[in-house]
Structure 1
Amino acid sequence: MSAKHFINDPTHLVTSALRSLTLTNPSIALDVDNKIIYRRPSPNATQQVSLISGGGSGHEPSFAGMVGQGMLSAAVAGSIFASPSAEQIRAAITSRVDTSKGVLVIVMNYTGDVLNFGMAVEKAKAAGLAVEMVVVGDDVGVGRAKAGKVGRRGIAGTVLVHKITGALAALGKPLDEVATLARLTAANLVSVGASLEHVHVPGRNVDTEGGLELGEVEVGMGIHNEPGSERSKLELPELVSKMLVQLLDPNDKDRAFVNFTSNETVLMINNLGGVSVLELGGITAEVVSQLEAKHGIRPVRTLSGTYMTSLNGLGFSISLLQVIPHKLDAPGVVELLDASAEVVGWSAPIQTSTWEAKNTATLTDSTGTSHETKSSGLKVDAAGAQSALKNALDRVIAAEPDVTRYDTVVGDGDCGIGLKRGAEAILKHLSEHPFTGDIVVDLAAIVTVVENNMDGTSGALFAIFLNALVHALSGLAPGTASPEVWAKALKQSSDALSKYTPARPGDRTLVDALYPFVEVLGQTGDVKQAAEAAKKAAYETKGMQASLGRSVYVGGSGYQEVPDPGAWGIACFFLGLSD
């Protein structure tokens, strides 16, 4: 195993990956010698034009993942980032698909692919087979001037050609019509990619030169690490804006390959392999927003997912398809795009009826989600209580670097930031809504702030505890919130919290500091003594092995070096309160 890959043998990797497809889709088979994935023959299958595509491996799920009912009939795989041989392709055309209604070969515009697929097509024609070939070049990252005679590279938009023509072929349409629609689709298609880094190919030495600087993005990078139009340090909004201009600006004579005048446009956001699903969602939202705001385009279909990768490329591509009405006796392009396809690489499960409903209804009724807390009659000195709370929150914020350092050793490093975020949100709330003197009303308002700004396990624990505290104080109203009242309410809150978490003192959690504070306050009525007890207990968690929380999974000896982050954070709060 290398530092970059679990499988560093490229030959074994390609073969095993192809074999895996037959395990996840029982309708397809593998010709190991020729690296061909093809649809298994079936006595119930309807004769149709066969669709074949392929190219270098490393772009999964393209192309082999697009083989199945409704899309490709077969796909031919080369080595990583290298075209399959003409003989492999010839074998696919002549012996792995049904040729009775003809064969359409769809290939991306790369020299090796065009030459090898072209040679195989000519051999098949010479053997008397009806074969057509369509070359897809949708990339605008490299303009006309630089591309020269080679023309546009083929990238992720090719998948849309596969899907649309695959649906048409499944309807039994003749070869000339399927080929015509493939060319029409390709002619109205533009794509551009961007990446934060080059990818490493299994089996090759790691090249430490020529990579992008930290924070730099390459606009127009190809799917084999080929250079694009520029390298810049751009935030996502500026990057998306630049990419959309390259796709859509009719005045850019170097890149204006399609004049978008149609009322219907299809958008595809493609993950190049290394972008998280979460981040791809954020990218998609940015693209859609800018398309409408800056270019007046509201896509009739928005597809977002992983369709054509560059191994684990840390980037994405944007494809736009202008929907042009065809003159064929067949469904429209969008309907063909919506048609079902039984392939592992196509992810667009939204039905046509759902798209066409254009449902914009939302639920806006907030009944039951919030309510105004009634006056309880349990009084505190508003100014004094607010001052004490502010001091405690300031103490938590000041402790954030220490808490973060502790949590980096024994957890995932977010405890300090979470506490700080909650403290800052409460301080902001207090500046806008000063205490009224009714502690139940005031505390109930703070609970909402905590719930909305503190997430994770600690956020849930604080929210449960504070909600229980509001309930307990309400039961002790009216009157004055003396230390004795607080002690009783805090004890009830602790008991309520214990119903939802098994954490007890000795488990190395925030409870280690919380419980001593509540206990000593109940015994003495002295906040200062209670805070010191919490501090002592928090410090004693150093060396205590965790029984609960993320520290259990982290392992190592870090627990011997630092106290529990949550316990220390809440102890700092109590110390600030006592000051």
Structure 2
Amino acid sequence: MSAKHFINDPTLLVNYALHALTLTNPSVALDAENKTIYRRPGHASQVSILSGGGSGHEPSFGAFVGEGLLSAAVAGTIFASPSAEQIRKAIMSKVDTEKGILVTVMNYTGDVLNFGIGVEKAKAAGLKAEMLVVGDDVGVGRAKSGKVGRRGIAGTVLVHKITGALAATGASLEDVYNVGKLTADNIVSVGASLDHVHVPGRAAPTAESEVHLAPGEVEIGMGIHNEQGSGRETAHLPELVQKMLKQLLDYEDKNRAFLHVISNEIVLLINNLGGVSALELGGITAEVVSQLEKTYNIKPVRILAGTYMTSLNGLGFSISVLNVVNTNIGGPSMIQLLDAPSEAAGWHAPIKKETWEAKSNQTREVSDVREANVEASGLAIDPKTSTSALKAGLKRMIVAEPLITRYDEVVGDGDCGIGLKRGAEAVLKFITKTELSGDAILDVQEITQVVEGSMDGTSGALFAIFLNSLVHSLRQQAPASKATPKVWGAALKQSSEALSKYTPAQPGDRTIIDALHPFIETLNESGDLEKAAEASRKGAEGTRGMEASLGRSVYVGGSGFMEVPDPGAFGLSEFFLGLAGLKKEESK
């Protein structure tokens, strides 16, 4: 790997690269503050396709913004998800929302959670929005990927192209989502690299600090964030391609048989991870096509070879196979959508002459991109009683912070208690200074904004998704005029189901869900807040001795999990017990 760069400041590098996209494609504009590339206004209304992720994968995602492809792309720092606030502003102010929004992300936790917040906030504001998570990488396999599922890699660009082309025809959000999901379900990809990459701005690598591959050694299953792959081999190109195609197409390999190729039409994508010369990529493409025909009797109907999704200057490539199937919408086929004209600098097609000559200077500016006003619902709560109960729950959680922190120091990184306390203190301060309106939806919306502004990290994202969904769920309880325990129970259950779209956590995984799920279930069954709070504490205590399936505890060794409950679950149960007005127990 090389640690030499022309621009060593990573922030400056990302900002320069985004600005450059507006120079090479006059049809797009840049919201520099929020690192968002978006189509300039003036085109016909259509379903908006929004994507994004960490920088370092160029031309994905910003260079795919343009007619017939993406409507906007939000960039994070190098290899890091953009923030939920960047994404929210892009959805609410930089794309056309009239016909709905499809948010398409690759399957990485930060992207799924942060883009998920944006989707839930859009729904809470009354917009039509769907989220599609693409996981096409077979390199890791089922056994290792577990509940998290396959990573998203270069095959994602085929989903972008097909959904973008379909949206440009005026198709509905439902059809665009369904065709996108069908496309994603029929793509498999795998990568390989001769070395890891160096991120600009980081210290120069040393033999001790960096993992190098030996001469002639190749890593199969290399991820696009510099992650190690599924294994290393010493293999020349023909043997390497043979192993990669076997991972993609061997239906007898139950660990990786994600796709059964039964179609007569196959699209092949050979993607440069950034550091392979055009000459060498041509040789790789020829070898892949040759082996597909000789070994699998596959002659792709379309072959795309080039730089679509990189890992900076990664010295490697990936192979993606799309199984072309019927879209079942009575419109253009996948191939027709793939062939449809587009105008994006990252897709291999020229910008139209008419666009250059138009010299558009239009931008999409919104003077205020704060939360869209939520209308009063008439779903009544008692402001005084609600404020008192909330204060009791929040204060109990704050007092429990030292104990939660001690638990997290045993099985995590020690910050769970501080994060919960920070959010609880912010909400407590808000409801102390501001009287609740008595409208359940308006009050939950206000509290949600406070939580979003005060809590960060994975826990903050989970709470934000859940609370944004709760706003939406409460609205659907109409025509109820009073927020009874039954109404709250139904809304909470719906919000829990929405949360499950963004995290695979289930009861028994040793997470906050072990306290949340029994609370919601008991409240729905009994309508009794005290019983629900007691069920939540029982669920939290039940995590003692439970091995973690998700979260940071997965990576912590030792027997600490036998001694303490999950810190997040315990902290949430403390809030519920205080909310219900139950007596404080002795600390264990």
TM, length-normalised to structure 1:
0.59
Question: 2:97 corresponds to which residue?
Answer: 99
Which residue number in structure 1 is paired with residue 319 of structure 2?
318
**Aligned counterpart for 2:113 among listed residues 112, 115, 119:** 115
TM-aligned CA deviation for residue 12 of structure 1: 0.5
Deviation at 1:264, TM superposition (A): 0.6
Shift of 1:330: 1.3
* Unmatched runs of 5 consecutive residues or more in structure 2: 351-588
- Change in 2 beyond 3 A, CA 1:348/1:236: farther
* SS of alignment partner, residue 346 of structure 1: coil
SS in 1 for 2:33: coil
Matched, 1:38 2:38: yes
The AA in structure 2 aligned to 1:12 is L
Query: Aligned equivalents of 2:3 and 2:196: distance in 1?
Result: 16
The amino acid across from 2:10 in the alignment is P
The aligned residue for residue 235 of structure 2 is 234
What is the CA-CA distance between 1:196 and the residue it aligns to?
0.3
* Code of the aligned partner of 1:22: T
- Report SS of the residue matched to 1:227: coil
Contact preservation (8 Å) 2:3, 2:204: no
One-letter amino acid of the counterpart of residue 195, structure 2: E
Report if the CA contact (8 A) 1:303-1:348 is conserved.
Answer: no
User: Cα deviations across residues 42-77 of structure 1 (Å, max 9, x unaligned)?
Assistant: 1xx111000000000000000000000000000000
Report the AA paired with residue 33 of structure 1. Answer: E
Q: Which runs of 5+ in 1 are unaligned?
A: 350-579
Evaluate the alpha carbon distance shift between residue 145 and residue 4 of structure 1 in structure 2; reply closer, same or farther with a 3 A threshold: same
Structure 2 match to 1:9: 9
- Per-residue CA deviation, residues 212-265 of structure 1 (Å, 9 max, x unaligned), is 111110000000111111101100000000000000000000000010011110
Count of aligned pairs between the two proteins: 346
Per-residue deviation at 1:329? 2.4
1:250 paired residue number: 251
Give the secondary structure class of the aligned counterpart of 1:244: helix
Match of 2:179 in 1: 181
Distance in 2 between residues matched to 1:211 and 1:146, nearest whole Å: 23
- Please give the secondary structure, in 2, of the residue aligned with 1:33: helix
Q: Which amino acid aligns with 1:179?
A: Y
1:167 to 142, 165, 168: 165
- Greater mean alpha carbon deviation, residues 124-133 or residues 205-214: 205-214
User: How far did residue 207 of structure 1 move?
Assistant: 3.0
In 2, distance between residues paired with 1:104 and 1:332?
19
Write the deviation string for residues 90-120 of structure 1: whole angstroms up to 9, x where unpaired: 1111100000000000000000000000011
The reply on whether 1:283 has 2:281 as its aligned counterpart is no
Cα distance in 2 for partners of 1:329, 1:75 equals 29
Matches within 5 A, 1:45-56: 45-56=43-54
Q: How does 1:462-541 map to 2 (within 5 A)?
A: none
Q: Which has the larger radius of gyration?
A: 1
Q: Distance in 2 between matches of 1:78 and 1:253?
A: 35
Letter of the 2:74 partner, please give it.
V
Preserved CA contact (<8 Å) 1:66 1:72 = yes
- The residue that corresponds to 1:431 in the other structure is none
Q: Which has the higher contact order (CA 8 A, sep 6+)?
A: 2
Q: How many Å separate the matches in 1 of 2:202 and 2:215?
A: 23
Equivalent pair of 2:273/2:318 in contact (CA under 8 Å): yes
Aligned 1:201-216 pairs, distance under 5 A: 201-208=199-206, 209-216=210-217
Partner of 2:18, secondary structure, is helix
Check whether the contact 1:141–1:192 (CA below 8 A) recurs between aligned residues. Answer: yes
Q: In structure 1, the residue corresponding to 2:7 is in which secondary structure? A: coil
Which residue does 2:484 correspond to in 1? none
CA contact (8 A) 1:25 1:343 kept: yes
2:65 matched to 1:64?
no
Report if the CA contact (8 A) 1:271-1:306 is conserved.
yes
% of aligned pairs identical? 72
For the aligned residues, what is the CA RMSD?
1.0
SS of 2:283's equivalent in the other structure is: helix
Q: Please give the alpha-carbon distance, in whole angstroms, between the structure 1 residues aligned to 2:346 and 2:99.
A: 25
Distance in 1 (CA, whole Å) between partners of 2:30 and 2:4 is: 28
* Secondary structure in structure 1 of the residue aligned to 2:287: helix
1:341 and 2:342 are equivalent in the alignment? yes
The SS at the match of 1:153 is: coil
The equivalent of 1:406 in structure 2 is none
SS at match of 1:283: helix
Distance 1:336 1:252 in 2: 31
Q: Could you give the per-residue CA deviations for residues 437-463 of structure 1, whole angstroms, max 9, x where no partner exists?
A: xxxxxxxxxxxxxxxxxxxxxxxxxxx
Aligned counterpart, 2:421:
none
The partner residue of 2:154 within 149, 153, 156 is 156
Letter in 2 for 1:188: N
Question: 1:235–1:87: structure 2 CA closer, same or farther, 3 Å change rule?
Answer: same
Choose the corresponding residue for 2:196, options 185, 195, 198.
198
C-alpha deviation, 1:211, in angstroms: 1.2
Task: Indicate whether 1:303 and 2:304 are aligned.
Answer: yes
Structure 1 segments (4+ residues) deviating >6 Å: none
Amino acid at match of 1:39: R
- Which secondary structure does the structure 1 equivalent of 2:34 belong to? coil
Please give the per-residue CA displacement for 1:468-494, whole angstroms capped at 9, x wherever unaligned. Answer: xxxxxxxxxxxxxxxxxxxxxxxxxxx
Look up the equivalent residue of 2:328 and give its one-letter code: K
What residue identity is the alignment partner of 1:259?
H
CA distance in 2, matches of 1:56, 1:47: 28
Aligned equivalents of 1:339 and 1:345: distance in 2? 15
Distance in 1, matches of 2:309 and 2:97, equals 27
**8 A contact 1:73–1:97 mirrored in 2:** yes
CA distance in 2, matches of 1:9, 1:193: 28
Q: Describe the SS at the equivalent of 2:215.
A: coil
Equivalents in 1 of 2:37, 2:330: separation in Å? 31
In the alignment, the residues of structure 1 paired with residue 347 and residue 30 of structure 2 have an alpha-carbon distance, to the nearest angstrom, of: 19
Is 2:3–2:200's contact at 8 Å kept on the other side of the alignment? no
Measure, in 1, the Cα distance between the counterparts of 2:227 and 2:116.
Answer: 23
Cα deviation 1:381-413 (Å, max 9, x = unaligned)? xxxxxxxxxxxxxxxxxxxxxxxxxxxxxxxxx
Superposed displacement of residue 14, structure 1 = 0.3
How far apart, in 1, do the equivalents of 2:232 and 2:192 lie? 10
1:75 aligns with 2:76: no
* Counterparts of 1:331 and 1:313, CA distance in 2: 36
Q: Shift in Å at residue 348 of structure 1?
A: 5.7
Letter of the structure 2 residue corresponding to residue 41 of structure 1 = P
Between the aligned partners of 2:294 and 2:303, the Cα distance in structure 1 is: 16
**In structure 1, distance between residues paired with 2:67 and 2:349:** 15
Secondary structure of 2:252 counterpart:
coil
Tell me, yes or no, if structure 1 residue 143 matches structure 2 residue 135.
Answer: no
Aligned mates of 1:56, 1:289 — CA distance in 2: 34
In the aligned structure 2, how far is the partner of 1:108 from the partner of 1:133?
Answer: 11
Aligned equivalents of 1:274 and 1:226: distance in 2?
16
Mapped to 2, the partners of 1:325 and 1:292 lie a distance apart of: 23
2:38 partner letter: Y
Q: SS where residue 54 of structure 2 aligns? A: strand
Alpha-carbon distance in structure 1 between the residues aligned to 2:52 and 2:143: 28
User: How far apart, CA to CA, are the structure 1 residues paired with 2:26 and 2:308?
Assistant: 21
Corresponding residue for residue 18 of structure 2 = 18
Displacement of 1:206: 2.7
Q: How many angstroms apart in 2 are the aligned matches of 1:18 and 1:330?
A: 35
Given residue 325 of structure 1, which amino acid in structure 2 is its aligned partner? N
C-alpha displacement at 1:3, in angstroms?
A: 5.1
Deviations 1:4-57 (A, max 9, x none): 111010001001100000000000000001000000011xx1110000000000
Equivalent residue letter for 1:185:
T
Looking at structure 2, the residues matched to 204 and 3 of structure 1 have their Cα atoms a distance apart, in angstroms, of 9
Paired residues of 2:69 and 2:161 also in contact (CA < 8 A): yes
1:274 aligns with 2:270: no
* Cα shift at 1:82: 0.1
